[in-house]
Amino acid sequence: MTLVAVAAPAFDVEVDLAYATPDNFTGRPVYSRADCWLHAEAAGLLERAIRLARPHGLRFRVLDAFRPAEAQWALWNHTPDPDFLADPRRGSPHSRGVAVDLTLIDDAGRALDMGTPFDAFTPRSHHGSLDIPVEAQRNRALLLGLMTAAGWDCYLKEWWHYQLFQPRRHPVLSDTVLPRRMMG
């Protein structure tokens, strides 16, 4: 299984992995290193999405991508909520390297309003939620349109989550597959 590093200059994205900082729902860093990785097929779809966003004056901020199985267990042990976290016994698309969490940013690097923060475990985070401002609904629709036009599938309960279709055809991966471990 080949994982591709998602970083400049090959990828015109801002990488800001939430789980490498304490600014996530656990309140502490889960990753010791903020390296961003995706399966080669997913990396190709991200490149396509980047090209689609560019004419709109938009870029992506990547909030999470490959999440080692060890990290999925850490998140699940903190908050075992199957609506927003995959049970690590079944495996997350993130732990297969085939999912990305992201948002849109403008040319100045400001995130577009999506109505809720990343990892807000609430029905307001669902695609199609009408309980958010109209501008945020438009921004979510734009993100959804760009990502689905690039070939991604979405998860209806998280506006930020996109994955390959049929993610379970890929194996769950440990931190040990990386050239430099993310988990410490």
Specify whether 135 is catalytic.
Answer: no
**3 state SS of 104:** strand
Phi-psi domain of 84 (left: phi exceeds 0; alpha: psi -120 through 50; beta: other): alpha
**3 state SS of 124:** helix
Neighbours of 115 (CB within 10 A): 18
Which of 66, 76, 74 shows the shortest CA–CA distance to 33?
66
Residues labelled catalytic: 158
